[in-house]
A and B are shown apart, each in its own frame.
Chain A
Amino acid sequence: MIGPLAVAIAALALVLAVAGGVLAARDLRPGKPLLQGVLLLQLLLLVQGGIALVKVVGDQRPDQTAAFVGYLAVSVIMIPGGLALSFEEKSRYGTLVLAVACLVTAVLQERLGTLWSTVA
């Protein structure tokens, strides 16, 4: 269950990271489409976090449960953190901060997916 959702989230995060990178290269601030995409991304991350937590508290546990929960926690705070840091920065680097947060989110999904694949 976590697998396909993690792949979808990673794909969206990568698209947003590239879009953010392109905007930053053009010296632009994140526009409405990008911010809406990031909002959708965060929504999916929260849904995934909820589902995964319910499963872990239940009887489905990956081998490295603690690591999995750690990655899960970080995956949920990454985007809000990136938004907070990019908000006041009006230069292209504010956009780049958001792009990096999306990129890290994608990497975290890869780790989460791998860890979850050990669930029997």
Chain B
Amino acid sequence: MSTELGRGPGRLLIAVYATFAIAASSRAGLQLATAFSEAPVAYLLSALAAAVYIVATIALARSARRLATYACAFELVGVLVVGTVSLLVPSEFPDQTVWSAYGLGYGLVPLVLPVLGLLRLRATAPGRAGNRG
């Protein structure tokens, strides 16, 4: 059932996603508006992360499964890549992004969230047994 996505544990997931959508877009908006030249890479990534959280929140809330899957997958890749690069090339990240050090500044929630999202999508998939389409 597609309506199951936002029920039960999915409701909590949407709440946390919405929180991160707000947190990431506030931070990105502020960074871009006040100090873009200081750390353009970090701030553009903040903006990208914010956009992904917004898309994921809306997709989960409206049970748009395919879009939600893409958003969560993109988010997982993003936090892994940005997390790794931020540790290897700290000079490009003089200021924090949501995904720096795998989201350590946010209690690693950014790393756990996409995994939970994908698990939730999988657990509620219609006709999940043997459905690989």
Q: Do A and B bind each other?
A: yes
Nearest residue (CB) in A for B10 is A93
Given that A74-B22, A89-B8, A93-B9 are contacting pairs, would A66 and B15 also be in contact in the complex, using a CB cutoff of 8 Å?
no
| Cβ-closest chain B residue relative to A107 | B107
Contacts of A101 in B (CB 8 A): 15
Q: Are B22 and A91 in contact (CB under 8 A)?
A: no
Cross-chain contact A91 with B30 (CB below 8 angstroms): no
CB distance from A97 to the nearest CB of B (A): 5
Main secondary structure of the interface of A (DSSP, over half): helix
Count A-B contacts at CB 8 Å. Answer: 41
Whether A100 pairs with B30 at a CB distance below 8 angstroms is no
CB <8 Å contact, B15 and A100 = yes
Report B-chain residues with C-beta under 8 Å of the C-beta of A48: none
For chain A residues 78-113, which have a beta carbon within 8 Å of chain B? 78, 81-82, 85-86, 89, 91, 93-94, 96-97, 100-101, 104
A96 vs B18: C-alpha distance when bound (angstroms): 15
B8 touching A70 by the CB < 8 A rule?
A: no
Are B34 and A93 within 8 A (Cβ)? no
A70 to B23, CA, bound (A): 9
- Decide: A86 and B16 in contact? CB cutoff 8 A: no
Interface range for B: 10 to 19
The majority secondary structure among interface residues of chain B is: helix
**Of the candidates B15, B22, B23, B34, which one forms a contact with A97 in the assembled complex, judged by CB atoms under 8 Å apart?**
B15
Is the CB–CB distance between A70 and B26 below 8 Å? yes
- Please give the residue numbers on chain B whose beta carbons come within 8 Å of chain A beta carbons, in ascending order: 7-12, 14-16, 18-19, 22-23, 26, 30, 33-34
Contact assessment for A93 and B30 in the assembled complex, using a CB-CB cutoff below 8 Å: no
CB of B9 within 8 A of CB of A85, answer no
Task: Using CB atoms, name the residue of chain A closest to B14.
Answer: A85
In the complex, what residues of B have CB within 8 A of residue A91's CB? 7-8, 11
Chain A residues positioned under 8 Å from B23 (CB to CB): 74
> Residues of A contacting B26 with CB < 8 Å?
70, 74
Cα(A78)–Cα(B34), bound, Å: 25
Kindly list the 3 A-B residue pairs having the minimum CB-CB distance in the complex, ordered from nearest.
A89-B11, A97-B15, A93-B12
A39 at the interface (CB under 8 A from B): no
Q: Which residues of the partner chain B approach A70 to less than 8 Å between Cβ atoms? A: 26, 30
User: Given the complex, which residues of A lie within 8 Å of B11, measured CB to CB?
Assistant: 85-86, 89, 91, 93-94, 97
Q: Is the CB of B12 within 8 A of A66?
A: no
